[in-house]
Amino acid sequence: MGRSLTPVTPAVVQTLALPASVYNQGLDRHYEVFSRNGKLFESEYQTAANGSEVFRTTQPVDWILGAGMSGINGLVKRGNFLFEAPLAFYSSANHWDLSPGYQASDLGFERAIPAGCISCHSGRPRPVDAMSGEFEPVPFAQAAIGCEKCHGPGEAHIRAMSAGSSRAHGSQIVNPGRLSADLENDICMNCHEAGDSRVPLPGKSFGDVRPGVPLGETIGVFMVPLSKDDKSEGGHVEHFFEMSMSKCYRATAGQLRCATCHDPHVEPAEAEAPAVFNAKCMGCHAGRACTAPIDQRKRTTPADNCIGCHMPRRDVPDTPHTSLTNHRILARAGEPWPEAAYQMTTQSMPDLVWVNRPAGHTEDPPPLTLLEA
């Protein structure tokens, strides 16, 4: 998270696999990514039958989006607007390819960055509105995701304490571990639950989300109800919904937290992850040995790897060369969704599921929010 957004510098450019070129036959477009004088550039161009260029557009890339675990791509700033660059580097494939959204149509450096997307990939963005891609002249007060994303605004805390407030009054830094399970999971869900639609409630913006306040009071996360005829394993990012459908979550009456298994301050290396998460699993399941045959357990990589069997990776729709961990914690591969997954609509909302409805909240979202969703 601390490397979620990085300004392009000569030092950063030296770490990239450059130069590279991509041709997309369906779009009949050529793309290049290269460095010049310590700066990063991307080009799009088309050639005629004789090899001459019909057109060429070249733009400087100002920020690198992503820490590189799945990949990286670039942001281009023109005036006060931000756009996604057409090429991304995918770590699993170890090469450059078209960025998400560019595979289906020629967007030509015109895919604007909406506030709802950049709010999850940066610390403190400063969008002018929700959708246009226009930002303040300095678009980020803080580039990468920092402490305030999970602990609340430090400025408000300092202001309160400088005024002589006691620790029992005023705006305090939030310790997520002291929150209820719902409120702590809301902090993670802010970025790890995309749903089919994320809509700020009337009078709210993506920048108004505060740790310790129910996410559903600021941002509504909605999804199309699951159908038993739908065989897909999930959308882009729906970690909380998948976890909420797990037997582990339902057996604990919703007390399983994201932080039960994940330490937000430590990301284990790929080689270390199986042992780290085996220990997490054994924290609850130590009294019951795995019932899978030993030869089957040895076939995982590494051997006897809990998450290798019960949290398999799945492809991400619309994002090539990318996979996500399935958080349903399956007892066995191909396990169907529980019946609860098909019973999440209400009589007044038959065609949308309000994934992050605040605990105890019985009213429907405002009509304007439903219209936007």
DSSP secondary structure, 112-176, as one string:
E--HHHHHHHSSEEEESSSSS-BEEEEEEEESS--THHHH--HHHHHHHHHTT--TTSS-----G
Domain ranges of the chain: 5-142, 226-342
Chain-centre distance for alpha carbon 134? 21
Tell me how far the alpha carbon of residue 206 is from its chain's centroid: 14
Low-confidence ranges of the chain (pLDDT < 70): 164-171, 231-236, 287-289, 317-318, 321
Q: Beta strand pairing status for 53-61 and 81-90?
A: unpaired
pLDDT at 238: 86
Asked whether the bond before 302 is cis by omega within 30 degrees of 0, the reply is yes
Residues 339-368 have pLDDT tens digits of 999 999 999 999 999 999 998 898 999 999
Chain centroid offset of residue 273 CA: 20
pLDDT at 285: 84
- Report the pLDDT value the prediction gives residue 234, as an integer from 0 to 100: 60
The per-residue pLDDT for 37 is 96
β-bridge mates for residue 44, sequence order: 31, 57
Give the global pTM: 0.89
Q: What is the dihedral of CA 142, 150, 192, 221, to 10 degrees?
A: -100
Residue 193, pLDDT score: 92
The pLDDT of residue 75 is: 97
pLDDT given for residue 236 in this prediction: 61
